[in-house]
Amino acid sequence: MTVPIFVLALVLASALSVYGQFGGGHNEHHHLEEYIDYKAPPHYHWDYAVHDLKHHDIKSQHETRDHDQTKGVYTLLQPDGRKRIVEYVAGKHGVDYKVRYEGHSEHGGIGSYSG
């Protein structure tokens, strides 16, 4: 049984590649490892927004965290036409929410209750 020459070349190239990765070759590559400090205090900021008039999907959110305290606010356009605004602060002792509304409820608006 004869083995095609390209198969033998492929096996030889693979073996040399593996041999070189583990320090056997002359061209050793030193990879830098990323250092992650898992004990560092958390700190982040993010936000997003959606403004889709076709599907009446209008909302946004903003949040920041510094050490043990997380603060944020999110808004959304409710089916009755009012804008709901929720502000929150979370920490060691729980979460505090403050909810308020802007605008007036529109009778017959998208998803409104008509009873």
Kindly tell me the burial class for residue 77, based on how many C-beta atoms sit within 10 Å of its own C-beta (0-12, 13-18, 19 or more).
Answer: buried
Give the integer Cα–Cα distance in Å for 90 and 17: 52
pLDDT number for residue 41: 87
Alpha helix stretches (DSSP H) within 1-109: 5-21
> In this predicted model, what pLDDT tens digit does every residue of 95-113 receive, in sequence order?
999 999 999 887 655 554 4
Give the integer Cα–Cα distance in Å for 80 and 14: 65
User: Which band of pLDDT confidence, cut at 50, 70 and 90, is reported for residue 114?
Assistant: very low
Smallest Cα–Cα separation from 62: which of 75, 52, 50?
75
> In this predicted model, what pLDDT tens digit does every residue of 23-80 receive, in sequence order?
555 555 667 787 888 888 889 999 999 999 998 899 999 999 999 999 999 999 998 9
Locate the domains of the chain by residue range.
Answer: 1-31, 43-102
User: Which band of pLDDT confidence, cut at 50, 70 and 90, is reported for residue 115?
Assistant: very low
